[in-house]
């Protein structure tokens, strides 16, 4: 039977914050919260893929009303257990299609979450869903890496990104379909475990086209939350699209 939590069930949620500790450090969180709070202003914010509240909780503490959408009940349970967790409303569902009440000044997706939608149609639906929730002039923000295809010599499809004596992790690319999987092998007590998470990588220009189809236009693109310029060498981008007036 299909896991209702998708790829982020109890086994992942139980150690998610610890496994992603670098992304929970103040130097990673605070610039993102500053950036998003500035865009939200006095309005409401909608987070697609709210997870355990890494960004939603500190953003709510800044006085921004935040509502989240997430498919994983296990992840949301961790959010709820944290101080201030009851201040963030959450709707369980697929953020490509799930609707919530009200209009928002800001919608956002962080930490490569757009890639969790594994088809172009689903990613486009996410843009359309964001636009449907935004007020005229509202912003949609995505943080996502630039596909690392430059690391692939002819004939190679695998890029390792973590190695240790007790485990390793690697991405597998299919350039024909833009499919990508992140794979994790861990060895504990002489026993190995394997986990694979599917993604679809997407290019900045492709995201811009999705935004235009959904009635939004690019207004900013940066390499980081601190607004470093986006260049040919940038490993990721923070992009902001504005919903056109209706």
Structure confidence by residue, pLDDT tens digits, 190-216? 899 999 999 999 999 999 999 999 999
* Shared domain check, 115 and 183: no
Q: Is 209 a member of any domain? A: yes
Residues 104 and 179 in one domain: no
How much of the chain is in helix, strand and coil states, percent to nearest 5? 30, 35, 35
Torsion angle defined by CA atoms of residues 244, 50, 112 and 28, in that order, rounded to the nearest 10 degrees: 100
- Residue 4 domain flag: no
Q: Mark whether 118 and 174 lie in a shared domain.
A: no
Indicate which CATH number applies to the domain containing 123. Answer: 3.40.50.150
Mark whether 230 and 168 lie in a shared domain: no
Residues 55 and 32 in one domain: yes
Q: 229: domain range?
A: 10-146+202-243
Higher-scoring residue by pLDDT: 8, 182: 182
Residue 139 belongs to some domain of the structure: yes
Residues 142 and 177 in one domain: no
Mean pLDDT, rounded, for 93-100: 97
CB proximity list for 1: less than 8 A, separation 6 or greater: none
Same domain, 35 and 116: yes
Distance (Å, whole) CA 6 – CA 117: 11
Please check whether residue 98 lies inside any domain of the structure.
yes
Tell me the pLDDT band of 1, cut-offs 50, 70 and 90. very low
The whole-number pLDDT of residue 118 equals 96
Residue 18: per-residue pLDDT: 82
Same domain, 54 and 134: yes
pLDDT at 3: 53
Residue at 103 is within a domain? yes
Q: What percent of the chain has pLDDT over 90?
A: 87
Same domain, 86 and 179: no
**Residues whose CB falls within 8 Å of the CB of residue 246, separated by 6 or more in sequence, listed in order:** 136
The confidence band for 19, taking pLDDT boundaries of 50, 70 and 90, is confident
Task: Characterize the bridge pairing of strands 158-164 and 236-243.
Answer: unpaired
If one counts every other C-beta atom within 10 angstroms of the C-beta of residue 26, the result is 9
- The verdict on 83 and 178 lying in the same domain is no
CA dihedral 197, 198, 203, 209 (to 10 degrees): -130
- Are 22 and 111 within one domain? yes
Does the global pTM surpass 0.75?
yes
The residues, ordered by sequence, that sit 6+ positions from 150 with a Cβ below 8 Å of its Cβ are none
Asked if residue 1 is part of any domain, the answer here is no
Is 2 part of a structural domain of the chain?
Answer: no
- Residue 62 in contact with residue 33, Cβ under 8 Å? yes
Residue 222 lies in a domain: yes
The domain tally of the chain equals: 2
CB 131 within 8 A of CB 150: no
% of the chain at pLDDT higher than 70: 96
Tell me, yes or no, whether 43 and 24 share the same domain: yes
SS3 118: coil
């Amino acid at each position: 039977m299909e896991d209702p939590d998708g790829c982020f069930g109890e086994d992942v949620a139980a150690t998610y914050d610890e496994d992603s500790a670098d992304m929970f450090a103040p130097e990673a969180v605070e610039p993102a919260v500053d950036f998003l709070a500035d865009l939200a202003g006095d309005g409401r914010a909608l987070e697609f893929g709210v997870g355990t509240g890494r960004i939603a909780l500190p953003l709510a503490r800044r006085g921004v009303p935040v509502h989240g959408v997430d498919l994983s009940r296990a992840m949301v349970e961790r959010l709820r257990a944290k101080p201030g967790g009851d201040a963030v409303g959450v709707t369980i569902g697929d953020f490509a299609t799930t609707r919530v009440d009200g209009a928002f000044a800001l919608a956002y997706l962080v930490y490569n979450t757009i890639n969790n939608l594994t088809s172009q149609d689903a990613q486009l639906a996410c843009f359309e869903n964001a636009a449907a929730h935004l007020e005229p002039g509202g912003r949609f923000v995505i943080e996502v890496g630039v596909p690392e295809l430059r690391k692939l010599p002819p004939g190679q499809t695998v890029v390792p990104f973590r190695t240790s004596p007790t485990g390793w992790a690697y991405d597998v690319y299919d350039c024909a379909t833009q499919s990508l999987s992140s794979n994790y092998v861990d060895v504990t007590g002489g026993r190995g475990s394997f986990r694979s998470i599917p993604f679809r990588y997407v290019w900045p220009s492709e995201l811009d086209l999705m935004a235009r189809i959904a009635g939004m236009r690019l207004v900013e693109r940066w390499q980081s939350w601190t607004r470093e310029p986006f260049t040919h060498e940038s490993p990721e981008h923070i992009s902001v699209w504005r919903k056109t007036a209706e």
